[in-house]
Structure 1
Amino acid sequence: MPRTARPRRRTALAALSTCLVLGCASGEIPGEEPPPSPGATAPSGDGVVTWASSADRVGVAVDGRGYRLVVRTSVGGSGLRVRLSNAFGDQPVTFGNVHAGLQRRGAALVPGSNRRLTFGGARSVTVPAGGIVYSDPLPVRVPAASALVVSLFVPRAGGALTGHWMAMQTSYTTDGDHTAEESAANWTQRTGSWFYLDAVTVRPRPAAGAVVALGDSITDGWHSTTDLDRRWPDHLARRLRASSTSAVKGVANEGMAGNRVLTDGPGQSALNRLSRDVLSLPGVRTVFLFQGVNDIKAEPGATADRIIAGYRRLTERAHAAGKCVVAATIAPYKGWGEWDPAGEAVRRRVNAFIRTGGTFDAVTDFDRVLRSPRDAERIRPAFDGGDHLHPNDKGMRAMADAVDLESLDCEAGPHGQG
């Protein structure tokens, strides 16, 4: 698909004030997040994010639990680091042992692949409430598209548990410390969530950048097939790996079910999680913004003007941090229980702004890709996951195929294009 806006030259935006980068003035937009906590950002020049997931409060933490978490890398490289998050905890959490290996089948690992990770040279680390920590780099090479398994043992925890509820991926839990084991024998409890782990980074050769998909449950993959990596960012990652021209290879999926641009609800709003979930990740060149339907259908008073103002603020902050912003139009959802003509009018006006407002570095028209030729307010039946809002595997693939790969390697300008 041809771009609807031409990327512009990068300026000296990285030198702008911290207030600009973190968004101190919000205008008519709700209050925005504070700076990332200490340890949230990887050391300067240290690689590229190969996997990430948005964090939220997902329950109550338990002492003595083990978590064997399965994730899919996008770009390969050496010097693997994991980022562990207690961002939503209200008490410190101690990680007693952490290992990383490759999945063989289920909870079983490829023999010889499981390696211990350290934190400042120590085997364990205690992360304070609200904190985030990176492991030391692991001196092994991890291939692209690997089923990476990160095993955590948490001897001491309490209060709120940080994680990602809807993983669309089976992981495993256990009682006690079995992190060093490559066998699945003690990892018999299954879970559809990720806990504590919110990012993985590598140092790719040759050097490469990453794109972060900032979205809601559609980006999170709801109605795609569990365990088969058929979310639209997964399909995008496959396209980028196959490209001989794109220097963007990493893909981070920061989708969150129910998430909104403007206000907290299911998870912090896009405005309130931008620094932690996007700008703090290493190697990010582009933010792919695909949100707004939850503001329209679930938030009273979310007018087109307010949503557009939220888009502008997100874009200003991303540009100030030296990132490009590609935006996607909001897909149709007639047939979903919260659809009404007033909301449809807001969606159409917001989409007109996305296409023609000149704020973004490029635009992908997901509305055009997904809408039915017989009723532009509905998702195409062949792409409908069954609830008239979330695309199925075929629809997810069509979305990824619509993204112009060149638009992901643009150069950000100072004030958007409007």
Structure 2
Amino acid sequence: MNFVKRAGMSLGARKPRTAALLAIFVVLCTLLLGGFLLQSAAARQEADAQRTVGVDVTVRKKGLTPALADRIGAADPVHRYSPEVPVRAEARGFTPLVADVPAPEGDGAGQREQGPLAVTGVRDLGMLLPFSYGSTKTTEGRGITPEDAGRNVAVIEQRLAAGNHLGVGDTVHARSADGRREVALKIVGIFQDPRRDQPGWAPPHELPGNTLYVPVRTAQTLGTGPAKVTEAVYKVGSPDRAGQLHAAAERILGGGGFDFRVNDKAYRDQVRPVQRVGAFAGLIVWVITLAGALVLGLIVTLQIRERRAELGVLLSLGEKKWKLIGQHAVEVAAVALPAVALAALAGSLAGQHAGDALLGRQGDEPVTAAGAPDTVTAPPAVRVEPAAVGKVAGIGLGISLVSTVVPGLGILRLHPRSLLTDSE
């Protein structure tokens, strides 16, 4: 009789044992599938966090220019970047804020000559640390983005906007401190600076309400000399990539030294826990694979010992030993395949809940992007993909093969007479 057909008849004749073996395989495959799903979900969440959170690197150097900052920003590790170009400007058609306390003798005129507005040229307002960490927020409109490079737009502080009855869409005029150039600025956003005005007198440009953010090119137009970058902030995916950026910055800036500061706190807070979950999921897969092979191997060994009489009869009838081993392998494999299907069904029903529990709501921390209001990252998606099911099926069949072949090797050393004699 064909050993495959005989395996099917054996499974039907031993329904309780078949059901128990199926239950074991379902649990085994479900845990394996859960490990693979957690691994893939953790990898996706880590990649998303590297793009949205990443690591902030601040570069400072005397003589740093917008052109050099752009060259560093073009390096491979950089996702986003923004230089800061501060200038002073005069207000045309609106009134800058002034301190409540009168200026001391001889101070006011000099400050007016330099310009009362503190204008900062940026490429990406969301990259500035006060905006990216949420201490300073855009309350109306939007921030400066790389798409504004060729536009004369501005984001102004809400106290200056309220004092001059300005809103998003209005146009104001700013003039360079030497009076040679004037720029019409369209207001695209209003932000709130948490800093309070000083209790005593302060020059207008030091008042937080007189701060404007404009594109870098607009700041260069309003400046009275060569544009100087006080600092440039770069976002890279991981601390390892920060090392690559340091090498690129050193190559571009040359000798003389520069200040290179890495802030990876947000990365550690949001990415490292996800990496630990991924590593834990990988450990689960290995432990379940080894434990499953061991448990099933013991079960098959016990079944072989209980079926010694059956094996002796088949061998005495001339059945080949490898076919007896093949019969046991087919029996276990025939149970493993439906167990994979049941595990896939269980994963599709409960996978998302398990992912939320282990990966947590780590994406629920607010992330500020491009100077826009805070947004909440979506929870990690746990999807049952064909590749994961294929891995589970492969491992399940591998376990069934190992757990039957290894115990079945003992059959090769036995003879029909010894089997029948021992089983009596």
Question: Is the TM value for this pair above 0.5?
Answer: no
| TM-score, with length taken from structure 2 | 0.23
Which structure's residues are more often helix, by fraction?
Answer: 2
Identify the structure with bigger relative contact order (alpha carbons < 8 Å, sequence gap 6+): 2
Which structure's residues are more often strand, by fraction?
Answer: 1
Structure number with larger C-alpha Rg: 2
| TM-score, with length taken from structure 1 | 0.23
